[in-house]
Amino acid sequence: MFTANVFGQQQESLTQKNDSLPQSGYLIQTVDRDGVIMPEIEIRPITIVGSRRSAAARDYVRNERLIYNIKKVYPYAIIARERLTLINSELESIGSESGRSSYLNDMEKKMFAEFKEDIMKLTITQGKILIKLIDRETQNTSFELIRRYRGRISAAFWQGIARLFGSSLKYEYDRFGEDAEIEMIVLEIEAGRL
């Protein structure tokens, strides 16, 4: 009789182990790596956002100001990317050099008329952020864009103007370095969370 009770307890513990296994799982692929077959799961990329430090009020205000500035100038960077794509496609269809020059002059006049007042109202900080965001969106610095489409003299002139205000048209966007905070905010804006 004692043996029967022990056997019953063993059977019950086996049942409990099997019952505790999850009912759903992941489909694991196998991959051959240097002759060794290993399991592999495809993981989607994620963005890691650090938790906010218990920072002083000035850090909070600085971050909110940065968000405000980026929200103000990011649409202009998107417009710059779209216009650059449009201009490049139009320039491919124009055969003569004089026709290209005329087209670029017309586009420059139209864009100055359309955006001059808005750009003039930007602060110096917003201008610096816009220069970096244009590099992010077009994969070219503002200096390179001006030099390519308007020439070296024009690029040097505008670089001199930017230098007067403590900026540079040669700023490059470094999403993993000094511009990581800007990148996080831009990703939040693109995701619709800001």
In tens, the pLDDT along 120-139 reads 898 989 988 998 998 888 88
CA 79/CA 29 separation, integer angstroms? 43
Average pLDDT for the chain:
79
Yes or no: say if 130 and 76 are a contact pair by the CB < 8 Å rule. yes
In a domain, 90, yes or no: yes
Give dist(CA 78, CA 65) in Å, integer: 20
Token pair, residue 110, equals: 């139209």
Is 133 domain-assigned?
yes
Looking at the 3D structure of the chain, how many domains does it have? 1
Helix (H, G, I), strand (E, B) or coil at 54: coil
- SS3 of 31, please? strand
Question: In which domain, by residue range, is 95 found?
Answer: 57-191
Structure token digits, residue 157: 């002139």
126: which residues sit within 8 A by CB, 6+ positions away?
69, 72, 73
Q: For residue 16, is it within any domain?
A: no
- What is the signed CA dihedral for 69, 75, 81, 84, rounded to 10 degrees? -110
CA distances from 142 to 76, 90, 134, 185, 193 (A): 13, 20, 7, 21, 28
Tokens at 151, concatenated: 């020439």
Residue 44 lies in a domain: no
Residue 143 domain-assigned (yes or no): yes
Q: Is residue 94 part of a domain?
A: yes
Condensed to tens digits (0 to 9), the pLDDT of residues 27-79 reads 678 888 888 888 888 777 777 766 555 556 778 888 899 999 999 999 999 99
Please check whether residue 30 lies inside any domain of the structure: no
pTM of the model: 0.66
- Do the domain assignments include residue 23? no
